[in-house]
């Protein structure tokens, strides 16, 4: 049963037939892992806390810099020099004190990453480098934990959801490399803030769908490309790479045999 306070606070969500009281209870009991607390993580985490997600784990090893404030809208000038996870946790706590927020202010070792992924209902990859993205993808695939990945650079954004129950394709199939051949950091290529917010909000929306109902309404294994100049979207299906070492069991087994 929802308390009177919870019913009043979340009544606009409860009024939606896709959520209702049961869906709201699921959100209150939900556990979301947010890896990366930059622009994507800022936007996503704010809406996750506002929706009533019961447990949010924030992961980042960086501190707030003045150049972040143009797009990382949960931070303030008074947060400069503060660990991003601590500054974001404070904002989430002030937004919704009933959400339990735990922080990890470091790059996780493989064993800890696997544990955190296993505990979560869904993982949001809000990072900015392919090495970490591939590690998160591997951990999510092995744990059957849904992965919601977002990225943005310049005027463009990308969004894709992988529900690893069907084992048909993964992030590595889409981007089969650990390092991008071209420079894609915001500091070098630039970034317009609202594009980051758009993608981060979509990540939160997909997570709320999954946690509240146990399934996604958004199409999975579909890469959504956003152009912030024209405000147009393009959808591309992600197919499984027959040589993927992550999600193709025959390739994985061959690699394990070669290592013996």
Reply yes or no on whether 186 is catalytic. Answer: yes
Tally Cβ neighbours within 10 Å of residue 260: 4
Sign of CA dihedral 180, 175, 162, 14: positive
d(CA 7, CA 210): 20
- Give tens-digit pLDDT for 173-215: 999 987 665 545 666 679 999 999 999 999 999 999 999 999 9
- Give tens-digit pLDDT for 116-125: 999 999 999 9
Q: Choose the catalytic residue: 126, 140, 186, 247.
A: 186
pTM of this structure: 0.93
* Coil, helix or strand at residue 228: coil
Residue ranges per structural domain of the chain: 4-237
Low-confidence ranges of the chain (pLDDT < 70): 179-188, 250-260
What fold does the segment set 4-237 form as a domain? Rossmann fold (3.40.50)
- pLDDT value at position 224? 98
């Amino acid at each position: 049963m929802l308390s009177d306070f919870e019913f009043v606070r979340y009544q606009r969500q409860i009024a939606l037939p896709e959520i209702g009281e049961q869906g709201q209870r699921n959100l209150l009991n939900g556990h979301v892992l947010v890896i990366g607390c930059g622009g994507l993580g800022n936007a996503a985490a704010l809406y996750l806390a506002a929706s009533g997600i019961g447990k949010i784990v924030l992961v980042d090893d960086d501190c707030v810099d003045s150049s972040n404030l143009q797009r990382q809208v949960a931070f303030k000038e008074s947060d400069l020099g503060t660990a991003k996870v601590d500054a974001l946790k404070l904002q989430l706590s002030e937004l919704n004190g009933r959400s339990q927020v735990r922080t990890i202010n470091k790059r996780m070792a493989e064993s800890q990453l696997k544990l955190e992924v296993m505990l979560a209902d869904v993982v949001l990859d809000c990072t900015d480098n392919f090495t970490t993205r591939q590690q998160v993808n591997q951990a999510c695939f092995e744990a059957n934990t849904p992965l919601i990945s977002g990225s943005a650079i310049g005027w463009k954004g990308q969004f894709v959801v992988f529900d690893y129950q069907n084992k048909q394709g993964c992030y590595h199939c889409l981007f089969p490399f650990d390092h991008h051949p071209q420079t894609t950091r915001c500091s070098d290529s630039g970034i317009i803030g609202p594009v980051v917010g758009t993608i981060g909000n979509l990540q939160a929306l997909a997570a709320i769908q999954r946690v509240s109902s146990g399934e996604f309404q958004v199409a999975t294994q579909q890469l959504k490309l956003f152009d912030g100049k024209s405000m147009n979207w393009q959808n591309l299906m992600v197919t499984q790479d027959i040589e993927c070492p992550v999600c193709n069991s025959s390739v994985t087994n061959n690699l394990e045999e070669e290592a013996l």
